[in-house]
């Protein structure tokens, strides 16, 4: 059964022996106490899948991979970016139940066979967090769950944010309410990823050294992978100048700066996992067409950027976008590449990938 139809729902943990780029998944996989059904979300005609990542994992970070970071809490992450079909389904329900979105276009036209599996794009960070709250309440109403919304207007967490476009008094307080919402960190509803959560999911290889795996033993990844010892066990990570899931670098910009040609192996490795300007044809593509990364997450680099719930330290109202897009050059497929944008910004290359606390 292909990965596209049967997602590896759970994190490739210390007990994993999964091989890189595996295109099949065994039935009945159960890692870290999680069942396959826990990562399957189905409501009405819409199904989406999420993979599980346990907390306490330390990983390399920064452009030179010379720093480390740790994600303390366990979380779920979307197998793919949010699709147009999912966005439309939630938005349609939301607008019938008191939600209002600033963007009057994205997600208002019924999906077609051509675009239903495209990643939704052209959305602002503001609309993204409102949509996440809507997705939580939609799922509750449809499935009888009791998930808590994550984003609120008040510090007592009694008023979930349900609009980005309302009366003048609300818009006058946009900076406080929308740019800096009260985030209930213990809530188990749908939300955006933090930059650290995104990077951990993009970098993680597993506890099996790529140098010992037949498929990757002779690739640059086998030599350049990064190992970190955690409680006596070696954890392996993709270098930051690779695209997520690739077996060679995505450092086209560095080579162009030095007037050198990008090796064909680097181009092939990057195009195997990411849609960018050289292979995208200048447009988005259906999710999950290229190879997944080692956690079986698709399109972590390329296709559309991912809005993250992490502010810019120099401009706290701005938010991180990660992953690059179909419109970008190859060097922006590097895991460590990120940018900051005003949360009102709507761009054809901006999308989202769902996250959720493990509760």
For residue range 11-36, list pLDDT tens digits in order: 333 223 222 222 233 332 223 457 77
Burial class (CB in 10 A: 0-12, 13-18, 19+), 45: exposed
Measured between its terminal Cα atoms, the distance across the chain in Å is 29
Res. 262 pLDDT band, cuts 50 70 90: confident
Residue-level pLDDT at 359: 76
User: Cα-flanking dihedrals φ and ψ of residue 263, to 5°?
Assistant: -55, 145
Query: What pLDDT does residue 82 have?
Result: 98
- pLDDT in the model for residue 311: 86
Are the CB atoms for 211 and 239 separated by under 8 Å?
no
What average pLDDT does the segment 204-231 reach?
Answer: 95
Residue-level pLDDT at 256: 60
Compare 315 and 110 and report the one with higher pLDDT: 110
pLDDT confidence of residue 165:
64
- Going from the N-terminus, what domains does the chain have, and what CATH number goes with each? 56-359 (3.90.1580.10)
Reported as a single tens digit per residue, the pLDDT across 269-305 is: 999 999 999 999 999 999 999 999 999 999 999 999 9
- As a whole number, the mean pLDDT across the chain is 86
Spatial strand order in the sheet of 338-341: 338-341, 319-322, 305-311, 350-351
Q: How confident is the model at residue 263 (pLDDT cuts 50, 70, 90)?
A: confident
At 310, the pLDDT band (50, 70, 90 cuts) reads confident
Is the pTM above the cut of 0.75?
Answer: yes
Please give the average per-residue pLDDT across 137-141, as a whole number.
98
pLDDT at res. 314? 78
What are the structure tokens assigned to 136, written together? 């939580």
For residue 228, pLDDT beyond 60: yes
């Amino acid at each position: 059964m292909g990965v596209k139809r049967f997602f590896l729902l759970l994190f490739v943990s210390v007990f994993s022996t999964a091989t890189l780029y595996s295109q099949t998944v065994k039935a009945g996989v159960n890692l870290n106490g999680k069942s396959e059904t826990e990562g399957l979300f189905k409501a009405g005609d819409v199904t989406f899948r999420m993979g599980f990542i346990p907390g306490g994992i330390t990983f390399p970070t920064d452009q030179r991979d010379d720093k480390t970071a740790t994600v303390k809490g366990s979380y779920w992450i979307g197998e793919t970016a949010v699709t147009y079909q999912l966005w439309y389904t939630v938005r349609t329900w939301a607008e019938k139940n008191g939600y209002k979105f600033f963007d009057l276009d994205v997600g208002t036209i019924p999906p077609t066979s051509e675009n239903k599996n495209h990643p939704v794009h052209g959305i602002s960070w503001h609309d993204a967090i409102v949509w996440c709250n809507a997705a939580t309440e939609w799922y509750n109403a449809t499935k009888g769950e009791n998930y808590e919304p994550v984003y609120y207007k008040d510090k007592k967490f009694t008023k979930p944010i349900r609009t980005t476009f309302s009366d003048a008094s609300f818009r006058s307080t946009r900076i406080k309410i929308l740019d800096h919402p009260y985030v209930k960190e213990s809530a188990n509803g749908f939300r955006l990823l933090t930059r650290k959560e995104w990077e951990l999911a993009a970098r993680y290889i597993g506890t099996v050294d790529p140098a010992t795996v037949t498929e990757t033993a002779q690739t640059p990844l086998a030599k350049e992978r990064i190992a970190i010892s955690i409680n006596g066990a070696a954890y392996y990570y993709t270098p930051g100048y690779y695209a997520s899931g690739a077996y060679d670098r995505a450092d086209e910009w560095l080579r162009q700066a030095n007037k050198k040609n990008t090796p064909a192996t680097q181009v092939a490795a990057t195009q195997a996992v990411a849609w960018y300007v050289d292979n995208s044809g200048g447009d988005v593509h259906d999710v999950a067409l290229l190879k997944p990364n080692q956690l079986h997450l698709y399109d972590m680099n390329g296709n559309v950027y991912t809005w993250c719930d992490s502010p810019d330290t120099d401009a706290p109202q701005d938010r991180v976008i990660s992953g690059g897009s179909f419109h970008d050059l190859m060097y922006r497929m590097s895991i460590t590449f990120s940018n900051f944008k005003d949360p009102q910004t709507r761009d054809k290359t901006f999308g989202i990938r769902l996250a959720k606390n493990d509760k």
